[in-house]
Amino acid sequence: MDDFSKANAIEPEDYAEPRCLLCDEPYGKEPEVRSVPQRRIIEKNDEYLAKRDYEGAERHLLYWLEEARLGNDKRGMLVIANELIGHYRKCGNKDKALENVDLALSLLESLGFGDTPTAGTTYVNCATACNAFSLNDRSMTYFKKAESIYESIPDIPDALLGGLYNNMGLCCKALKRFDEARAYYAKATARMSKVENGELERAITCLNVADVAAEEKGLEAGEPEIYNLLDEAYDLLKNNNAPRDGYYAFVCEKCAPVFGYYGYFLAAEELGGIAKQIYERS
């Protein structure tokens, strides 16, 4: 090709539309990443949840998800997708929870995060959501991926493994694999015993084991074990140094109906009242 032809050659950018007509990114050029403020987004979301303003939390997260998408910030999108999975799980919105599960998994692949701790956390969130909506086989698949990642990490925080084992116990119970459920709950208790203010999670584990006993043995045959576990859970919830904050209120509110179900009506009323007081002063 002569010099004249080289100078007048038509390049793709001469005839192809830019990636974005508004920002006019050159053809073939990956747009720059405009990162969203991840920590501030999570902190603000926690503020909404502490006030039980779930609509405000959803608006907040969806706004920043779109900002991250427009800024080509896939890491930010992954963080927010994980938050949305948890949000929609708590709100009981199956379709939107699973939509964000799919989004988070596709972002993991796109980012090439593979067996990183971030991938482990994402698998836990996906698994927990699937378990909440009775997709238990799918849930266990994700839990196993997370377990493999977490157990391969040296010096991984006990709280992470404790939370994982607790959730895997729930999934095993749903699948009626009671021996596995008890084994995972024992692992969860051992880990959370090493964690500062781990009493709240241990209380939840006690109640989970009580549910296993009730389903495996029946209420009458399982009564001695169930009552011992309820007494232990109540003691852990009341006698601890955990901050009386939104999370403490959430745990009390979550545990109260379980006590009520097994006939511990005064404990259920007390824990529900504690949660209400904390929420009202938040």
Query: Which residue has tokens 């199956």?
Result: 94
Task: Give the residue from 39, 52, 115 showing the smallest Cα distance to 83.
Answer: 39
Q: Which CATH architecture is the domain 24-156 placed in? A: Alpha Horseshoe (1.25)
Q: Is the dihedral of CA 223, 226, 231, 237 positive or negative?
A: negative
Q: Percentage of residues in the chain with pLDDT exceeding 90?
A: 84
Average pLDDT, the chain: 90
Quick one: which H or E segment has residue 20?
A: none
pLDDT digits (tens, 9 = 90+) for 10-69: 443 333 343 343 444 444 555 689 999 999 999 999 999 988 899 999 999 999 999 999
Assigned token pair, 92: 């009981």
Report helix, strand or coil for 72.
Answer: coil
Distance, CA of 257 to CA of 103 (rounded, Å): 33
pTM of the shown model? 0.76
CB 282: neighbour CB atoms within 10 A? Answer: 13
Q: Decide if 123 contacts 101 (C-beta within 8 A).
A: no
- The yes-or-no verdict on residue 180 having pLDDT over 90 is yes
pLDDT digits (tens, 9 = 90+) for 2-27: 444 444 444 433 333 433 434 444 44
- The yes-or-no verdict on residue 188 having pLDDT over 90 is yes
- The yes-or-no verdict on residue 79 having pLDDT over 90 is yes
Q: Where are the chain's structural domains?
A: 24-156, 159-282
* pLDDT, average across residues 118-137: 95
Distance, CA of 174 to CA of 134 (rounded, Å): 8
CB 206: neighbour CB atoms within 10 A? Answer: 24
Distance, CA of 236 to CA of 207 (rounded, Å): 11
CATH number of 159-282: 1.25.40.10
